[in-house]
Structure 1
Amino acid sequence: MRIGLLTEGGYPYATGEARLWCDRLVRGLPQHEFELYALSRSAEQEERGRVPLPSHVTRVRTAPLWAPADDGRSHRRRERRRFAAAFTELVRGICGADPARFADGLYGLAALAWEEGGLYAALRSETAVRAVESACRAPEASRAVQRAQVADLLEFVDELERMLRPLSLDWYEDLREVDVCHAAAGGVAALPGLLAKRFFGVPLLVTEYGVQLRAHYLETSARDERPAVRALLAAFHTRLAGEIYSQADLLTPGNAHARRWQERCGASRERLRTIYPGMEADRFAAVGEDPGCGDPHTLVWVGRVDPAKDLIALLHAFAEVRRAEPRARLRIFATSVGTGSGAAGSATAGPGGPAGAGNHEVGHAVGHGYLADCRSLAAQLFPDEAADAHAVGENPVTFEEIGGPDVPSPAHAYGSGRVVVLSSVIEGFPITLAEAMFCGRATVSTDVGAVVEVIGGTGLVVPPRNPRALAEACVTLLQDPERAQRLGSAARARALELFTVEQNVAAFQESYLRLLARGPARPDGTGVPFEQPPEARVPGHWATPTWATPHPVPAAPPAADPAGPPTRGDDPEAHPGLMVPAARAERAASPEASA
C-alpha cells in the first residue's frame, strides 16, 4: 500500500507539531510505502533540518507556507473572468450561510491554479478586494462583517492568499497515484488531500489530535485583531472544516472532545473513529514499575508555562494545602515557556509568515511575563520560605526545568512525587496527564478538554478555576497514600491499554485497510484495490506478470452533470472545468509514466 502523509508545520522537520506521532506511525508500518507532503511554517523550521527517514519513505515533497507562492504568471481576460466568478463564490460562501458556494469557489480556484497558475497575483488583485467588499456588504452577511473597512479587507485578502497557497502546488500528479491520503491535521494541511479526493477520487483520512478550528478560535481571541477580520477568518476556517469533514472518507479524532467538535461541524458519525495518541511506555517503565519511589508529601506539576495552565490558581490552592499538610511541597517542572495564546493542548501553532513571526515573539514575551508573575506570587504566598526559588528541599514551591543533571527526563520529574496535578483551564488531549499515568501516579485534574476521558476514573477531577476544590482533592490523596497508590496502579494499567504506540499504529493500519476494502479504488468503477502491483512502479521497463493483469471492467455510465469536475479515471476532454495541460497529458501517456 502507498500512503501519502500530509503535514503542516511538523514531520519530517526536526521541530513542530505532530512530529513524534507521525514518525512513530511511519516507522511502525515498514511493510507500506510512505510519501511525505509537508508544509513548513517558517524559514527557521527549514533551517533546523529534517529527522532521519526510514527507507520505505519513497518520496518527500515540501512547500513553504511562509513564502509567497508567486509563479510569475498573470491571467488573460478569460482567466480573469473565471477567477472572478470562482472567488466571488468563495467569499460569498464565507460571508453568507451557504457552504455549497464556498465549496464551488474553492474547487473552481483549485482548477484554475492547476491549469493556468497565476493564483498568487490574482488573489492580491483589486478584483479580489472588490469581491470581498461586495460579499461583506451583502444582506446575508453578519453585522461584524458588514462593518469591514478598507484596511480590514486588505488584511483579510492577505491572510486568505496565504491560506490558499496549497491550491497552487504541483503535488497533485503524485498524489493521484497514492492509495490513501492521510492528513495529519485538519485545516490547511488537509487541503491537498481534499483536492486529490475531489479530482482523482483518492481516499482521504484526516486525523485531528487538536481540532484546528478550535485552536483558531483560541488563538484569535488572544490576538489584537480587528473584529471584522476576526469574523471573516473564523468564517473561512469554519467553512473549510465543514468541507473537510463532509468529504473525508474517515475521520480519526484523538479523543471524544475533538470528536464532539467534528460532529458539531457536520462530520457524520459513521465516518468517525477515535484513535488515541500513542506514547512510548518504555520511557516511563522504571518509575511506573516502582510505585514506592518519590516523596509522599510532594505534588508535581509538569508542562508548558502558559496562562492557559492556570498556575496562579494552583499556587493559591497549594497555600491551602500547606495549612492542612505543613510538610507538603510543590515542584513545578517547566518543559517550555508558552506563547500565551491560550491554545493549550492543541496540535497547532501560530500563523506562519512575517506577521505570524511577530506575534510569536510577542507571545513568548507574554509567556515569560507569566512565569515571572508566578514566581512573584509564590514569594508573596510563602515570604519566609521563598528566598531561593531554585533550592530544592528548602522551599515549599520550586520552579525547575527538565533536562538538567538532577531531572534529566520527564520520568524523573513525575517520579519525584506521588501525586501529579493538572490545573489547566484549556486542554485538548492532556499529554502530561497520560505520561503521569504511565508512571503509576495518582492525579488531580481540572475538568477540561479530554481529561475525564483520559483518566477514566483513575484520578480525582475538580472544576477549573476553583483553588479550594483543587486543594481539597490534593489533601485527600496526600493524607491517604494507600488510595493514591491504588489509583496510580489503575492509571498505569489504563495507559498501557489505551495510549501506547503499538495500539496507535495498529489502529491506523486497520483504518488504511478499511478504506481500501470499501470497494473500487476509483469512483467511476474502473479499478479495484491493488490492481496495480508494486513492480509496476519500479523505474525501467518491466513486464507485468499475467496474474497481475486486471480483468476488464465495463466503463461506468457518464455522470449526470457533464460539466462537473473530473474524477480519477475520467476523460479530461469531457470536463472543461479541469483541463490538464498538454505537457502533463503527454507525460501521463508516455511509457515511462505508465511504468
Structure 2
Amino acid sequence: MRIGLLTEGGHPYVSGDAWLWCERLVRGLEQHEFDVYALGHGPHQDADGHRVPLPPQVRRVRTAPLRTAEGPAYGRRARRRFAECYEELAGAVCARAGAAGGVPGAEEPGTPGSLADRFGSALYGLAELARDKGGLAGALRSDIAVRALERACRAPRALCAAHEARVSDLLTIAAHLERALRPLSLDWYDDDTLGAADLCHATTGGPPALCGLLARHFCGVPLLVTEYAVHLRTHYLTSGPHTAAPAVRAVLAAFHGRLAAEVYRAAELLTAGDAHARRWQERCGADRARIRTVYPGTAAERFAEAAEPALRTDPGTLVWAGQVDPAKDLETLLYAFAEVRREEPKTRLRVLGTPAGPEGAAYLGHCRTLAARLFPDAAEGDQPVSFEETGGPAKQTGVADAYAACAVAVHSGGAEGFPAGLVEAMLSGRATVSTDVGAVAEVIGGTGLVVPPHDPRALAEACVALLRDPERRARLGAAARARALELFTVERNTMAFHGIYLEIAARCPVRRGAPDEPRPFAAPAESLVPGHWTGPEDHAQPRGVPAWAADSTQPSVEEAR
C-alpha cells in the first residue's frame, strides 16, 4: 500500500513529540510505501541537517512550513464567494450547540441545517475556493473576515461569551483562524500528491488531520487519524483564563470542537493511545465502533539489562524520571519523600529529567529550593535528594541505569496523558508507585501501587510499604515487565497499525487508477482446491485445475481428499 503520512513538526525532522514514533512506524512497515507530508512552523525544515536518514520505503518528502504568506488578489465574484463561505463558517462556530451536554461539535450531523453540516459545507467551500484561486491567506486576514465574525458574535443565538467580543478580540480570533486554516491553501490535494495514496494517516489531530480531510474530500482517499494526545483536549489545557479574553477562548474552543467533530465523522478509523484519549474522542462526537486503542510503543531492548533481578539494586533508593514541568507535581513527591525519610532515614531520591522549556527550567529551580528547605540538616555532599538532567543520548542509558539501581520507581503527576516514563520503569522490572491520573491505572493494570493525586501521605505510605517488603517488590516488578512486554512494545504498536491499514483498504472501495497500476484488494482472494495437482507432463490440462477435475470419471469424496 501507498501511505500518505501527515505529520506536524515531527518526522522526518528531529523535532516535535511524535517524530520518534513516526520513525519507528515507517521503518517497521517496510512492506508499504510512504509519502511523508510534513507541516511545521519554522525554517529548520529547510535544512537537511535536521532530517533523519530515510529508509527506502519512503518515496518522497514534502514540507510546508505554516508561515504567513501573501495570498492572491480576489476579484469581485471571488470576494463574494469567500464572504458567503466564511460567514457560514463563523455562524456555525459562534452559534450555541443544541446537543446534550453542550460540547461543541457533539450534535448529530445529517439533520437539515445542523451546525455540523453547516460547518462542513463552509469548510469545504473555502477549500474549493483556495484550490481555484491559489490560496486564502489574504482573504482570511481581510476586513471581510473580521466583519463576518462580528456579525456571527452579535447574532441572537450566538454563544453568551461571544456577545462580549470587542474589536481587539475579533482581530485575535481572525488571526487564530487564519493560522488554523492555512492547510486549505496547500497544493497537496491532486492526483500527483495525496490523491495518489491508498490511505492518508494523520499522526496527530489538528492541521495534519485537516489535510487528510481535504484529501478525502477532493480525491476520495480514506483517512486514518491517530491521537495520542487529543488535539481538542490539548487546546483546552493550553487556553486558560490568563491566555485570552473569555470571548476569544469561547469562540476558538467552539471552532476546534467543530473541526474535531468533522474529522471524527469523516475518518474511516480513529486510534487512541489509551482509554482516557478514547473517552475524549467519544465525548467529542466520534463513533465508538470506529475507534481502536493502540498503545504507544517503547523500545524494550533498552531496558533488558536493567530487568536482571540481581543487577545493582539499591534497596534504599527511589527514582523519578520524566520531563520536568509543573504538571508532573514534583512538589507532592518531595513532601512525600520527607515523610518517607522519617520512616526510613537511609532512603534516597533521584530525580532525572529535562526541563520542558523556560517554564520547566523555572519549576526545576523551584523544586531544588524546596528540597533544600525540606532537608536543611543534610551534610555537604550527602543530600538525600539529587537532581540529574538527562537529554539526548544520555537519556538512552542514564534512565535505564537509574532504574537498574533503584528499589522503587515513583511516578507522580497532577495531569497526565499516556505515562511513557512509567512504561520504562515497568520494562525495567521495577515495582512502581503512581498517582491515579490520566491512563496510569490502565497502564499499571494491577502490577503496581496507585494512590490519589496531590496526596503526599498516601504516596509516602505506598513507598514505605514497598521499601520494607523486597519479596513484594520483586513480584510486582516481574508482573509489570511481563505486562509491558505484552502491550507496550514498538513491535506491538507497529503490527497493530499494519492490521489497521489492511482493514481500511479491505473495506474501502477501490479507486480506479492507471490500468497497469497495482491496486490492493482489487481482485478476490484465490482459493486452493484440495486434491492431486497436475505434473509437468500434463500439458493439455488447463492450468490450475487438479487432475481429478479434468477426468470424465469423478472420484469419491475420500479420493478427492
TM-score, structure 1 normalization? 0.81
Q: 2-side partners of 1:36 and 1:532: how far apart?
A: 24
Q: Matches of residues 86-235 of structure 1 in structure 2 within 5 Å?
A: 86-96=85-95, 97=97, 98-173=115-190, 174-221=193-240, 223-235=242-254
1:74–1:118 Cα contact (<8 Å) kept: no
Q: Deviations over 1:387-442 (max 9, x none)?
A: 4xxx4xx2111111236989943211222212111110001000000011110011
1:11–1:38 Cα contact (<8 Å) kept: yes
Q: Deviations over 1:274-298 (max 9, x none)?
A: 1111111111111113355321111
Partner SS state of residue 412, structure 1: helix
Q: 1:405 to 1:461 in 2, by over 3 A?
A: closer
Q: 1-side partners of 2:337 and 2:250: how far apart?
A: 40
Pair 1:255 & 2:254 matched: no
The one-letter amino acid of 1:130's match is: R
Q: Specify which of 517, 528, 542 is matched with residue 533 of structure 1.
A: 517
Pair 1:8 & 2:26 matched: no
Q: 2-side partners of 1:58 and 1:407: how far apart?
A: 30
The one-letter amino acid of 2:368's match is: R
Q: 1:535 to 1:319 in 2, by over 3 A?
A: closer
Q: 1:42 to 1:286 in 2, by over 3 A?
A: same
2:205–2:225 Cα contact (<8 Å) kept: yes
Partner SS state of residue 250, structure 2: helix
Partner SS state of residue 409, structure 1: helix
Q: Deviations over 1:35-58 (max 9, x none)?
A: 000101223465452111111111
Partner SS state of residue 69, structure 2: coil
The one-letter amino acid of 1:36's match is: V
Q: Deviations over 1:337-376 (max 9, x none)?
A: 124xxxxxxxxxxxxxxxxxxxxxxxx1x32221111111
Partner SS state of residue 398, structure 1: strand
Aligned residue number for residue 83 of structure 1: 82
Q: 1:419 to 1:75 in 2, by over 3 A?
A: same
Aligned residue number for residue 418 of structure 2: 429
Pair 1:313 & 2:306 matched: no
The one-letter amino acid of 2:355's match is: V
Pair 1:373 & 2:392 matched: no
The offset of 1:535, in angstroms, is: 11
Aligned residue number for residue 389 of structure 2: 401
Partner SS state of residue 85, structure 1: helix
The one-letter amino acid of 2:384's match is: P
Q: Specify which of 316, 319, 325 is matched with residue 300 of structure 1.
A: 319
Q: 1:280 to 1:406 in 2, by over 3 A?
A: closer
Q: 2-side partners of 1:430 and 1:19: how far apart?
A: 17
Q: Matches of residues 8-47 of structure 1 in structure 2 within 5 Å?
A: 8-44=8-44, 46-47=46-47
Pair 1:50 & 2:51 matched: yes
Q: 2-side partners of 1:496 and 1:189: how far apart?
A: 31
Q: 2-side partners of 1:46 and 1:467: how far apart?
A: 48
The one-letter amino acid of 2:4's match is: G
TM-score, structure 2 normalization? 0.86
Q: 1:396 to 1:531 in 2, by over 3 A?
A: farther
Q: 1-side partners of 2:360 and 2:287: how far apart?
A: 38
Specify every segment of 5 or more residues in structure 2 that has no aligned partner in the other structure, as ranges: 98-114, 525-561
Q: 1-side partners of 2:322 and 2:446: how far apart?
A: 22
The offset of 1:196, in angstroms, is: 1.1
Aligned residue number for residue 357 of structure 1: none
1:208–1:258 Cα contact (<8 Å) kept: yes
Q: 1:188 to 1:291 in 2, by over 3 A?
A: farther
Q: 2-side partners of 1:479 and 1:367: how far apart?
A: 34
The offset of 1:471, in angstroms, is: 0.6
Q: 1-side partners of 2:120 and 2:363: how far apart?
A: 42
Q: Deviations over 1:418-477 (max 9, x none)?
A: 211111000100000001111001111111110011111101001111111111111111
Q: Deviations over 1:474-509 (max 9, x none)?
A: 111111111011101000000100011111111111
Aligned residue number for residue 355 of structure 2: 337
Q: 1-side partners of 2:8 and 2:395: how far apart?
A: 35
The offset of 1:224, in angstroms, is: 2.5
- Answer with 39-48 or 239-248: which moved more: 39-48
Q: 2-side partners of 1:244 and 1:165: how far apart?
A: 16
The offset of 1:248, in angstroms, is: 0.4
The offset of 1:32, in angstroms, is: 1.0
Q: Deviations over 1:525-569 (max 9, x none)?
A: xx49x9753599xxxxxxxxxxx999xxxxxxxxxxxxxxxxxxx
Q: Specify which of 282, 295, 303 is matched with residue 276 of structure 1.
A: 295
The one-letter amino acid of 1:13's match is: Y
Q: 2-side partners of 1:333 and 1:549: how far apart?
A: 55
Q: 1:100 to 1:549 in 2, by over 3 A?
A: closer
Identity %: 60
The offset of 1:269, in angstroms, is: 1.2
Q: 2-side partners of 1:58 and 1:441: how far apart?
A: 42
Q: 2-side partners of 1:280 and 1:405: how far apart?
A: 16
Q: 2-side partners of 1:222 and 1:332: how far apart?
A: 31
The one-letter amino acid of 1:32's match is: H
1:120–1:161 Cα contact (<8 Å) kept: yes
Q: Which has the larger radius of gyration?
A: 2
Aligned residue number for residue 505 of structure 2: 516
Partner SS state of residue 288, structure 1: coil
Q: 1:248 to 1:284 in 2, by over 3 A?
A: same
- Answer with 8-17 or 456-465: which moved more: 8-17
Say how many residue pairs are matched: 501
1:285–1:438 Cα contact (<8 Å) kept: yes
Higher normalized contact order (CA 8 Å, seq sep 6+, divided by chain length): 1
RMSD over equivalenced CA pairs, Å: 2.1
Q: 1-side partners of 2:394 and 2:121: how far apart?
A: 58
